Structures are given as C-alpha cells and as structure tokens.
Amino acid sequence: MKKMPLLALLLSSSLALAAPSFTIGGVSVSLPTVQQGGKLYVDAAALAKALGFTLTFNQAKNTYVVQAPAPAGPGGSGQLAGAGAAVGQAYTAGQGAETLNFTLKSAEFVATRVNIGTQSFVPAADQKLLVLHYSVQNPGKSEQRYYESTLQFTVVDDQNTNRRYIEAVGREGGSDSLDIALKPAQKVDAYTAIVLPAGNSAPKLIVQSGSGPVLRYDLHGVVKGVGAPYADPQNPLGVRSSVPVATGLYAQVGALDLRLDAAALSSSAIGGQPPSSGHRFLIATFSVKNGTPGSQRLSYNNLLPVLLLTSGDKVNWNQNVLKAGSDDALDINLKPGEEVKARLYFEVPTQDAPRTLSVVQDTSRPIDFDVSGAK
C-alpha cells in the first residue's frame, strides 16, 4: 500500500485564500498550504513539527500517528522537538533572510558574576551560571543583524525543568554587549549565560532562531565544572555553600571584589572608643574593588560580615566601615574598576580568638577569610 499524501488539516473557508502566516506560541511560522475549493489545507507534517509534535505513518493500519512532546517534570515545560547537534560543529540556525551558521564551542559552570554591557548577572548563594561560548556566522550575501534576541537558548536540567538564558549576549574576549550587522561570511565569537540551582546539572541544551530548526545538544561530559576556590570537592559540577579565600587574593562578594590585606588584634581605641573590659578589637583591612559595569556603593548597609571565634561563638558586625588611614566612616560610590582601602572591626573576648571572617553582600554566596593568625 502506498503512503498517503500529507494534506490533513482542513481550515474554515472563511480564511483568506492568500497564503497566510501562522502564529504559534507567539512566533510567526510559514507553512506549506494548498487552496482548493475555496478552502485552505495545511501540510500535516509541517504543522506537527511547528507545534513540537512528531507525525509518523503506520502503513499496516493505514493511519497517521501524532505524538505529543514528553510530559513536563515539576516546574518544567517538557522537551522541545529538534535534531541532535555536536559541540564544535557548525549548523544552520534560522531560515530565509534570518539564516545564521551557529557553532557551540564550549560550556562551563561558574559561581561568579557575568558582565555584559551595562548589566552584571550575579548568582545568588544557591545558584550558579552555565556560560555558553559559541560563534555565529553570516552565510548569506547581504548583511545580517545578530543581537540578544536572534537566538533563543534553553537548558533542560536534571530535574526536567526548562531554564531560559539571561536574554543578553556578549562579545567574546571582553564584556561588550553584542549587537552587530554581520557582513557576508563574517563570523563573531559570543557568550551568554543561564541561571541554574547550584546543585543541578545541565544535560540538555536547546538552541533556536525564530521559526528555524531546533538544535538539541547532549551536554553530558561537555560542561566544565566550577573552578577553584568555588568548586565543591564532593561534586565536580557543584558549588561550595561558602568559599574559603586566602589572604591577599581577591574574591567576588556580590557586586564587589574583596581582598583581605591584613588582620590584627588591638586594644587601642577606635573613634575614641576603647574595647569593653575583657575584650579587644580584631581589625581587618580590605582592598575593595567594583567589578561591575555600573556604579556600586560601599557603606555600612550593603555588607554583612560575621566573625566566627575559635569557641564557635559568632560576633555580629557593628555596622562600621572605616577608611584605611583614619577612623572616619567610609560611604562611597565606586565607579567601574575603582578600588579603595577599607577597614572592618569586631570586639573579641580576650579569652577567645578569631577564626573566620565571613562576608556576604545581599544574597551572595558567603566568602570566608581565615583570620586565625591575627596577632
């Protein structure tokens, strides 16, 4: 028995007979149509594909079978249809005048901020970022614009939850936002990111341009794990809940970069106020730098340091940021890349000793500085 032609969906005769466009999920799609007898017919296979379904023909039963996408997991939206793709290989994305060649070059997890243009994307304490490095090339004979909305990136994580990209793309080798008119044959390297829970993996990546073909990547064994000192030693793809940082090294604390330069114990007065009887001050001197593209404030109300003592007790912060060379309060707006010296101090019992100074900004992951050697 011969396979039947795929002219399956009958539309109302009230539709215009000029070849229409279809809007599916907010996206304009062109589908093969036939006009006959004042009615419009749509190719069933093309329509099924546009909807994310699959259509097969059962020859024995002379029946077409439409298969829905896999059911969604908790919080997810199910799998999207698409062909398998390999890292390092170029594929066609988009169609018609919007066609681009896309190559996924690499992927990595990071627990640090990603800057793109004027925006800074900072993972919270329970998050990490999947950073995608790729290239796009114009294969056409006329200029083709590439910007943040040209390609859509979605990860299906190990909880079967679909997670979309940050809707920003940067030019590789810097942090400039990428919005470019690609000349014929011109190629550009780019990057973007997707926010994930810190403990989740990212086994599947879906890339699509408008109504063009869907590219599906299997990322098992492809994604590079979080680097030191953020990496969880028990999970190569995970992130520490708090990050130990050595004196003299910068670490990211939210929008700021902090480096512990020195920690010392003192019985001298600060701002005319000596420590309480049976106590002394731990004074921590930091270099603080703005690591984002925008202005960032350094003051008493945007840091949350906590000092842990050898006994296990905690000393909460007194909400004082001091200048490095005086006991004056420091309240300053740091320009991008600007650096300043600052001091924090805590009152410590004489019979106990400081062990760890933990610093948080907003919802950032705690950064732990070892101050047990302070004298």
pLDDT in tens, 262-299: 999 999 999 999 999 999 999 999 999 999 999 999 99
3-class state of residue 217 by DSSP: strand
Q: How many domains does the chain have?
A: 3
Does 78 fall in a domain? no
Percent of the chain surpassing pLDDT 70: 81
Residue 342 lies in a domain: yes
Residue 49 pLDDT? 62
The domain boundary residue, chosen from 184, 210, 239: 239
- 137 and 230 both lie in a single domain: yes
Task: Report helix, strand or coil for 41.
Answer: strand
Residue 18 three-state SS: coil
Query: 118 and 58: one domain?
Result: no
Across 267-338, the runs of DSSP E, i.e. the strands, are: 279-290, 296-298, 304-309, 314-316, 322-323, 332-334
pLDDT at 38 over 90: no
Rounded to 10 degrees, the C-alpha dihedral 55/60/62/67 comes to: -20
**pLDDT by residue (tens digit) across 176-215?**
999 999 999 999 999 999 999 999 999 999 999 876 778 9
What is the number of other CB atoms lying within 10 angstroms of the CB of residue 8? Answer: 16
The verdict on 30 and 178 lying in the same domain is no
Are 187 and 129 contained in the same domain?
A: yes
Which DSSP letter does residue 63 get? E
**Any domain includes 121:** yes
Regarding whether 225 and 155 lie in a shared domain, the answer is yes
* Residue 34 lies in domain: 7-67
For residues 325 and 250, membership in a common domain is answered with: yes
What local confidence, expressed as pLDDT, does residue 137 receive? 95
Residue 73 lies in a domain: no
Is residue 64 a contact partner of residue 44, using CB atoms and an 8 Å limit?
A: yes
Same domain, 234 and 258: no
| Residue 44 pLDDT level (bands cut at 50, 70, 90) | confident
Q: Is residue 19 part of a domain?
A: yes
When pLDDT is averaged across residues 335-353 and rounded to a whole number, the result is: 96
Question: Residues 208, 282: one domain?
Answer: no
Q: Are residues 99 and 222 in the same domain?
A: yes
Checking if the pLDDT of 317 tops 80, the result is: yes
219 and 250: one domain?
no
CATH number of residue 191's parent domain: 2.60.40.1240
